[in-house]
Amino acid sequence: MIRLEQVSKVYKTSTRPALENVSVEVDKGEFVFLIGASGSGKSTFLRLLLREEVPTKGRVYVANFDVARMARRRVPRLRQSIGCVFQDFRLLHNKTVAENVAFALEVIGKPRHTIRKVVPEVLELVGLEGKAERMPNELSGGEQQRVAIARAFVNRPLMLLADEPTGNLDPDTSQDIMLLLERINRTGTTVLMATHDHSIVDSMRRRVVELDLGRVVRDDARGVYGVGR
Ligand code: ADP
Ligand code: ADP
C-alpha cells in the first residue's frame, strides 16, 4: 500500500535533510504509528505520500501510484484514495455536520442520491447519528474529530493518514477516537497515524515506526512509545 525506497528530502532552505535514506513498507490493512520528536520528519513523510512534496532522492509508491514521478494531472486521483485527519479538525464552520461530510463527496462529483444515502451511514459509523444538523462549534472536540473522520472516510479511501488526531483532545476522548480509527482499520483501510501520544501508542500495541532527525531508528511490529531505548 505504501512503499518508500531510500527516500531523502532536503528542503531548499534547510541544511540538514528532513528525511534521510528512509525505506518503509506498509501493507494493505496495517495500522502503523509514526512517532518521533518534533522536527524528526513525520509531517514530511505524510506530505510525500500526498505529493505535497517530492523527494530529493528515492521512490515513493502509494497503492499503484509512483507518487514522485506521476503526472501532475493524476495527483487528484491519488489524493482521492487517501483520507486525511488533522489535530485541528479543519471543518468548515459555516456548514452543518452533514454538509461537511457531503461536501467531500460533492467536490468529487458524486450524485445527489448517493450523497443522501451515504452521509447518514457514515455519521452512524462514527457515532454522530442525531447530530447531522448541528454546526461544528456546537460540538465537543471529540465530536468535531468524529466529523473530520467521517469526512475523511466517506469516500472509502484505501488509506487514512492521521496527523496528531488526538493532539487537542483529553485522554478519554482520545481513547474513543482510537476505537473509531481501529473500527475503520478493521474495514480493511490502512491507517498511518503520526503522534506524540505515549499512552495511546502504549495501549494499542500496533506497529511503531520511529523517526529521529529524519532517519528510521526503529520499526517494531507491536511497539510501545519506547522510553529507555
Ligand atoms: P515533524 O512532523 O516530525 O515535526 P517535519 O517533517 O515537519 O517534522 O520537519 C522535519 C525537518 O524539516 C525539520 O527540521 C523542519 O524544520 C524541516 N522542514 C519541514 N518543513 C519544511 C519546509 N517547508 N521548509 C524548510 N524546512 C522544513
Ligand atoms: P464534552 O464533555 O464531550 O467535551 P460538551 O460538554 O462540550 O462535550 O458537550 C456535550 C454535548 O452538548 C455534546 O453532545 C454537544 O454536541 C452538545 N453541545 C455542546 N455545546 C453546544 C451548543 N453550544 N449548542 C448545542 N449543543 C451543544
Residue with the smallest CA separation from ligand 2 atom 14 is 139
Q: What is the largest CA-CA distance in the chain?
A: 55
Residue with the smallest CA separation from ligand 1 atom 21 is 11
Q: Are 179 and 20 in contact (CB under 8 A)?
A: no
Helices (H) and strands (E) counted in the chain, each on its own, are 7, 10
Domain span including residue 138 = 91-156
For residue 57, what is its C-alpha cell? 532522492
- Domain assignment of residue 98, yes or no: yes
- Domain assignment of residue 113, yes or no: yes
Q: Which pLDDT tens digits describe the chain residue by residue (229 residues)? A: 999 999 999 999 998 999 999 999 999 999 999 999 999 999 999 999 999 999 999 999 999 899 999 999 999 999 999 999 999 999 999 999 999 999 999 999 999 999 999 999 999 999 999 999 999 999 999 999 999 999 999 999 999 999 999 999 999 999 999 999 999 999 999 999 999 999 999 999 999 999 999 999 999 998 899 854 4
- Domain assignment of residue 137, yes or no: yes
Note the ligand closest to the C-alpha atom of 9: 1
- Domain assignment of residue 151, yes or no: yes
Q: Are 147 and 128 in contact (CB under 8 A)?
A: yes
Q: How far is CA 78 from CA 61, 71, 72, 81, 125, in A?
A: 10, 11, 10, 5, 25
Residue with the smallest CA separation from ligand 1 atom 17 is 18
- Domain assignment of residue 143, yes or no: yes
Note the ligand closest to the C-alpha atom of 209: 1
- Distance between Cα 127 and ligand 2 center (Å): 14
- Distance between Cα 48 and ligand 1 center (Å): 12
CA distance 204 to 222: 8
User: Considering its fold, how many domains does the chain have in total?
Assistant: 1
- Domain assignment of residue 222, yes or no: no
